[in-house]
Amino acid sequence: MSRLAACIFGLCGICLLVMGCQSSPRVSYGDPNTSSATFSRQDLGLRAQLLEQHNIARRSHGKSAPSLRIDAHLEAVAQRHAAWMARENTMSHTGENGSSYIERVGVRGWMGLGENVAFGQTGAEEVVATWMGSPSHRKNILEKRFKLVGFGIARNEAGTIYWCTVFGARTNP
């Protein structure tokens, strides 16, 4: 089994066990006050591609950064923020009720956090290339301390994709 296929199956397992999958072509935002969110099959594929593209970027830029792994908590935080941005038709690191990504994740148990947001790109390769072209976003992708990641993908009514990636390093890995 290829690494990409294993990653896709792994993400499907996380989704089924932690968040519940639907075959709907749209993202269900879930309750913004909980970790619940459901993803379309298309978005599961995008999540696998995002993980692959981030890890390719980390390997190809001469960094000794470890491969990123999906964290269910960071995934839920990223998904809620992407859904909020899509509902509000805005791209911002400041979220609902003026929250920062640090407040959305919670500081207990983390020694480092980062967030990348974007909108309008149509695929994982395009959004990661966009982030790699920005010094602060590139720094998050290549940061050696970050070992865990969560991806949020949501569409507004017009179908524009809003992207959110939350990176983390736990205090006790």
Range in 30-44, 80-94, 99-113, 136-150 the model is least confident about: 30-44
Question: Is the four-CA dihedral 68, 49, 126, 96 of positive or negative sign?
Answer: negative
Give dist(CA 78, CA 105) in Å, integer.
9
Which residues, 6 or more positions from 85, have their beta carbon under 8 angstroms from its beta carbon? Answer: 91, 92, 95, 117, 119, 154, 162, 164
**Which burial class, exposed, middle or buried, applies to 82 when counting CB atoms under 10 A from its CB (0-12, 13-18, 19+)?**
buried
Dihedral pair phi/psi, residue 90, rounded to 5°? -145, 150
Using pLDDT thresholds of 50, 70 and 90, give the confidence band for residue 19.
very low
CB-CB contact of 43 with 14 (8 Å) = no
CB-CB contact of 152 with 83 (8 Å) = yes
The tens digit of pLDDT for each residue in 90-114 reads 888 988 888 888 889 987 888 899 9
**Count helices and strands in the chain by DSSP H and E runs:** 6, 4
What DSSP string describes 89-116? T---SS-GGG--HHHHH-STTEEEEEEE
Radius of gyration of the chain (CA): 15
Q: Are strands 148-155 and 69-70 parallel, antiparallel or unpaired?
A: parallel
pLDDT, average across residues 34-51:
68
Q: pTM for the complete prediction?
A: 0.75
Dihedral pair phi/psi, residue 117, rounded to 5°? -130, 155
68 has a pLDDT exceeding 90: yes
